[in-house]
Amino acid sequence: MKKLYEKNEMTFAIVCIVVYCILQMSSPALNKAVGVDYAAYAVFNLAQSIILLVFMKQNGLFKKYGLCKTKFSAWRFLFYIPLIAISFGNLSFGAAVNLPPLECVCYLTYMLCVGINEELIFRAILFKAIAKDNVTQAIIISSVTFGLGHILHLFDGSGQRLIETLLQVLGAVAIGFMFMTLFYRGGSIIPCIITHSVNDMVSAFANQANASEKQIVMFFLIRMAICIAYTLILLKTLPNKTEKFIKDRNEERNEKTV
């Protein structure tokens, strides 16, 4: 991993994405083989999370990829209230116990690690690799790629409806831009990981079975509106880091050429 990372960060990012997608696509068949839903998802995602975190720790990459505290006060982020609303939004239609105990544990582990993996891969690794040449392009590609990745739900055996998947893709793009703003302007990816993981884990107790298509559409539209509004607010309250990023990038390049 280290040799690949040092040779080409973009290739490293692509490999991480490909491995992640392959693991997600192969999990349903393995779940059926072992007879426990979400078991393979839990094992694969936990393994990838551990590998990524250990790799970053051993190579001193925590700060580079935002695994650190933000330098700004909580009020600059509106005390993260919009993130809390998004995190528990899946309970809008009520709560229910949807899974037996063992499957619930596997699902919660899976969702916790998905938040870690997707934020580190799409938000941190991919962004940093592209941002070396173009920050704006990196923000767009990272956010859109993250959103499009949710198309996998059409093929993962979850039975998710097409309209819900399409709305989820659009919503994920909006969330992607919001998370990118938090990470790039705020300097820490930890709020993104926490919000992402909690939102996904709470879905284990969401009671959407009786929700109409109209209600689901409204839910996603409201969440998108919150993401867009919060992103615009953060762009106003957090300092622009473009100049500092370019300076740090140039210093890093100069160090490599010495």
72: left (phi over 0), alpha (psi -120 to 50) or beta: beta
Higher pLDDT among residues 68 and 255, named by residue: 68
Q: What is the overall mean pLDDT for the chain?
A: 88
Q: Does pLDDT of 12 surpass 60? A: yes
User: Residue 223 and residue 93: Cα distance in Å, rounded?
Assistant: 14
Provide the pLDDT for residue 133.
Answer: 85
Lowest mean per-residue pLDDT among 27-31, 38-42, 168-172, 250-254 = 250-254
* 95 strand-pairing partners: 206
Percent over 90 (pLDDT), the chain = 65
Residue with tokens 């390049």: 253
Provide the pLDDT for residue 158.
Answer: 56
Provide the pLDDT for residue 249.
Answer: 57
36: left (phi over 0), alpha (psi -120 to 50) or beta: beta
Domain containing 221 equals 2-251
- For 78-100, the pLDDT digits (tens) are 999 999 999 999 898 889 888 99
Provide the pLDDT for residue 160.
Answer: 62
Please tell me whether residue 38 adopts helix, strand or coil conformation.
coil
Tell me if 37 is assigned to some domain. Answer: yes
Tell me if 86 is assigned to some domain. Answer: yes
Tell me if 70 is assigned to some domain. Answer: yes
Question: What is the count of structural domains for the chain?
Answer: 1
Tell me if 90 is assigned to some domain. Answer: yes
Surface-to-core class of residue 217, CB atoms within 10 Å of its CB (0-12 exposed, 13-18 middle, 19+ buried)? middle
Provide the pLDDT for residue 165.
Answer: 77
Tell me if 256 is assigned to some domain. Answer: no
Q: Does pLDDT of 255 surpass 90? A: no
Q: Does pLDDT of 156 surpass 70? A: no
